[in-house]
């Protein structure tokens, strides 16, 4: 892989972000709306039951950290769909650009935009509700890494499906990740889910992260064993998704990239 080619792809997507009001609104509008709606709803219940104040803090902190997994997945699938919508995929890979270089590029773009949206949302959480999401302390980098790994796994999996079926299933690019949301324990602990849903949650890596975020907010403790399980699941899923993505891309090249449009 060549650094200058990776840099060029990153620059392309950053310029696209700068001149696209849709991308800008995605980065700032939706995090702000989530914080307003869920934060105000939480404080309404806290006004009824004062014991719910910590629960509100846990929900808002988890919501802010959810940005990393959402952003990591979103940047992979939406940038791929952008090339399809612009009918630019043939030009893209007709250039001396390796597929692996594109993969690394969208991962880096996801990191950059993830932190941009995260710090924006963290600032709003403190401004609106006086909640400091950095209460998780030195565990924050660990949580962030694990959430990025989860987002990349989902993003590459969805991209492999898009390479197989084209833009006719483009809605998966921004909606598929929300299929996991009920099992990731963002807004509530896993143990309130039905037994069958709790079983699914055991195989969703992000659920371990959000459970530990709540554990810090409520009890100031962390179970490192749960984080190790999360890491192992993430490594497994990311490896499988990259293998599937590579296979799908090769199959698509055999059939012709133009058939994706």
Supply the DSSP string of the chain, one letter for each residue. --HHHHHHHHHHHHHHHHT-HHHHHHHHHHHHHHHHHHHHHHHHHHHH-GGGHHHHHHHHHHHHHHHHHHHHHHHHHHHHHHHHHTT-HHHHHHSS--HHHHHHHHHHHHHHHHHHHHHHHHHHHHHHH---GGGGGGGHHHHHHHHHHHHHHHHHHHHHHHHHHGGGGTTHHHHGGGGTGGGTTSSS-GGGS-HHHHHHHTT-HHHHHHHHHHHHHHHS---HHHHHHHHHHHHHHHHHHHHHHHHHHHHHHHH-GGGG-
Q: Please report how many Cα atoms fall inside a 13 Å half-sphere around the Cα of residue 123, on the Cβ side.
A: 7
Q: In this structure, are residues 123 and 130 in contact, taking their beta carbons and an 8 Å threshold?
A: no
Assign 120 a pLDDT band (cuts: 50, 70, 90): very high
- How far is Cα 119 from Cα 136, in angstroms, rounded to an integer? 15
* Reported confidence tier of residue 53, pLDDT bands at 50, 70, 90: low
What's residue 48's pLDDT? 67
Give pLDDT, residue 52: 61
Distance separating alpha carbons of residues 13 and 160, to the nearest angstrom: 20
Mean pLDDT of the chain: 86
Burial of residue 42 (number of CB atoms within 10 Å: 0-12, 13-18, 19+): buried
| Banded model confidence at residue 204, pLDDT cuts 50, 70, 90 | very high
Higher pLDDT, 49 or 95: 95
pLDDT at 206 over 80: yes
Instruction: Report, as an integer, the average pLDDT of 67-79.
Output: 92
- Predicted confidence band of residue 41 (pLDDT cuts 50, 70, 90): confident
Q: What pLDDT does residue 210 have? A: 94
pLDDT band at 258 (very low <50, low <70, confident <90, very high): low
* pLDDT(245) > 80: yes
pLDDT at 7 over 80: yes
- Calculate the dihedral angle through the C-alpha atoms of 127, 42, 61, 234, rounding to the nearest 10 degrees: -150
The whole-number average pLDDT for the span 98-104 is 88
């Amino acid at each position: 892989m060549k650094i200058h080619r990776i840099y060029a792809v990153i620059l392309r997507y950053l310029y696209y972000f700068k001149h696209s009001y849709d991308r800008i609104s995605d980065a700032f509008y939706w995090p702000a709306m989530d914080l307003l709606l869920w934060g105000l709803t939480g404080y309404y219940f806290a006004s009824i039951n004062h014991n719910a104040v910590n629960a509100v803090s846990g929900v808002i902190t988890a919501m802010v950290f959810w940005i990393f997994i959402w952003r990591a997945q979103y940047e992979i699938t939406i940038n791929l769909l952008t090339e399809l919508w612009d009918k630019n995929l043939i030009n893209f890979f007709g250039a001396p650009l390796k597929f692996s270089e594109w993969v690394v590029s969208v991962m880096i773009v996801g990191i950059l935009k993830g932190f941009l949206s995260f710090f924006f949302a963290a600032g709003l959480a403190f401004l609106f509700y006086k909640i400091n999401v950095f209460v998780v302390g030195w565990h924050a980098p660990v949580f962030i890494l694990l959430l990025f790994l989860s987002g990349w796994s989902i993003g590459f999996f969805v991209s492999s499906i898009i390479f197989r079926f084209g833009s006719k299933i483009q809605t998966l690019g921004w909606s598929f990740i929300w299929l996991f949301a009920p099992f990731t324990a963002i807004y509530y602990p896993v143990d309130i889910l039905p037994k069958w849903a709790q079983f699914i949650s055991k195989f969703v890596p992000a659920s371990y992260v959000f459970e530990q975020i709540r554990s810090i907010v409520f009890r100031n403790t962390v179970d490192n064993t749960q984080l190790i399980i999360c890491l192992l699941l993430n490594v497994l899923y990311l490896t499988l998704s990259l293998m599937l993505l590579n296979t799908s891309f090769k199959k698509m090249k055999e059939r012709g990239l133009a058939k994706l449009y």
